Amino acid sequence: MLLDLNQALFTQFAGFLERALRSRRRGIGWKARTAHLDHFSDRMYYKTYGIIFVRRDEVCRRCTVGNENGMEKEKIMAQSAVESEQKKTRLMTEGSIWKNILLFSVPLILGNLLQQLYNTADSIIVGNFLGSNALAAVGSSGSPIYLLIGFSQGIAVGAGVVVAQYLGAKDRKDAQDAIHTSLAIAALLGILLTVGGILFSRSLLVWMNTPAEVLSDAVTYMQIYFGGVLFSVLYNMAAGILNAAGNSQRSLLYLGIASVTNIVLDLVFIAGFRMGVEGAAIATDLSQLVSCVLSLAFLTRVEADYRVTLRKIRPHAKMASRIIRIGLPTGIQNMVISFSNVLVQSSVNGYGAAAMAGFAAYMKIDGFNILPVTSFSMAATTFVGQNYGAGRLDRVRKGVWVTLAMSVVYTLAAGALLLLFQNPIMHLFTSEDTVVAFGVTAMHYFCPFYFLLGILHGLAGAVRGTGKSVPPMVVLLVSLCLFRVVWIQFVLPFFHSIDGVFVLYPVSWAFGAVLMILYTWKGKWMEQEP
């Protein structure tokens, strides 16, 4: 133990001397540099053999242990140091479960709602200034876009799980390797998506039976969007790292800035310069660039275990393998589910441009329920990941129930509010009654049943947090993809209206929720890996 103490003190003192020499080069006097020698620990504190060293920006003194006053001072300083570190990395392995989850979830929910707000504002501006055909073009591009970027989002989830577990276990070295490997993977995927999205946009839209009057604008929007998709992929990975560290407030801040940027640029490019759907796509790319730069800039400056050093961004084979192993099922899941949504969109396209515009408009409203659900799922993943990594299985079980309760309460309340104001909400997008009618019809089928989706994704996120991402993938693929494909092929022909498409959603949610409940009840997802 004495040897360990000496090594620790030597390491810290060496760090002090290095900083002192740097200060000398900057012209700072030796007296000033040595005035607080007992503060040479600037990253952590040591409490051994009666001496405690605390961060220089927290406390400017050394106290000895051995008497009552000294112990009290030690307690105060230790608490101060701990609080300082918690501000940087929010570990949810201690304290109130519901407060931890709520404090983590709220910024995520607000951030996602803010993101959906600017996406909705995007559609409102397009619909009012460019007409229903342009609204249909932008809206119908969503499914193929998610189809192509879904894999990268899954890898980001896998990276978040790995980082959260290492941070929960207080394994700084592996956490650092996981973070820099994640960003390297994100950069590679972003480049591949840029090329693939630009090349295959037209083919995907033609295959989806996109009407001729909509096709040209839809292709233009998709190709320009994918020209800047690298920024989106990098931001999503950076946000995943921040969320894994419990710092979801930063994600909210940068998303808020990006949202305002997007709305302002929409008004400038569409309403001001009359650039059409090109302006909407460029505004989206630039706003994603803003959020990407801000998040990466913060990660390179933060004094915490999740700090990013640009020259260290490279794939570590072992860590990349683990990230991909956990993230691949989610990536495949996202792509296949997005493929089923492409099939659904193709079915909607068969009812004409008005149906496409109405469905596209409601899908923006749908996000105000879907995104908070995914936020609670992400909260469950992070909470479970940290506590699973720390061996706190008792907190894992309680955290699952708390997350589910929050998700169900939110979805029921939000669904009721949307139904209450259905007509005014849909008229924000367009004044065309036919388009509004399609949107209101979708709302009647969706809003009462979002709680089922909350159960499905909440449990899936919890299981995913243990690193077992295959079972949630299977359940989601069966319920949200295979079931929908079978429905479209064999059940939809018996319907003579678009109602057959809309009813598919709550039925598939219910099917998935039942399967996920059965797995979490009977499965062995809580077993610790050797």
pLDDT of residue 76: 52
pLDDT of residue 77: 52
pLDDT of residue 28: 40
pLDDT of residue 350: 87
Whether 395 and 93 have beta carbons less than 8 Å apart is answered as yes
58 phi-psi bin (left φ>0, alpha ψ -120 to 50, beta other): alpha
Q: Is the pLDDT of residue 376 over 70?
A: yes
Q: Which residues pair with 63 in a beta bridge?
A: 52
> What is the arithmetic mean of pLDDT over 24-45?
36
pLDDT of residue 9: 36
CA angle (16, 78, 32) in 5-degree steps: 30
Q: Is the pLDDT of residue 30 over 60?
A: no
Dihedral of the CA atoms 503, 506, 512, 517 (nearest 10)?
A: -150
pLDDT of residue 182: 97
Residue-wise pLDDT tens digits, 339-356: 888 889 899 988 988 999
pLDDT of residue 48: 30
Least confident of 364-368, 459-463, 482-486, 488-492: 364-368
What confidence tier does 12 reach under pLDDT thresholds 50, 70, 90? Answer: very low
pLDDT of residue 122: 78
> What is the arithmetic mean of pLDDT over 486-496?
92
pLDDT, greater one: 298 or 120: 298
| CA 43 vs CA 16, 88, 92, 314: distances in Å | 11, 12, 21, 25
pLDDT of residue 419: 95
Q: Is the pLDDT of residue 1 over 70?
A: no
Distance CA 441, CA 36 (A): 69
pLDDT of residue 220: 96
> Taking the alpha carbons of 375, 376, 377, 380 in that order, is the dihedral positive or negative?
positive
pLDDT of residue 89: 59
pLDDT, greater one: 441 or 2: 441
Residue-wise pLDDT tens digits, 378-413: 899 989 999 998 889 899 999 999 999 999 999 999
Most confident of 122-126, 230-234, 394-398: 230-234
Least confident of 102-116, 123-137, 216-230, 352-366: 102-116
Q: Is the pLDDT of residue 31 over 60?
A: no
Give the contacts of 480 (CB within 8 A, at least 6 positions apart): 337, 340, 508, 512
Considering the chain, what percentage of its residues have pLDDT values greater than 90? 51
Residue closest to 314 by CA, chosen among 164, 175, 194, 178:
178
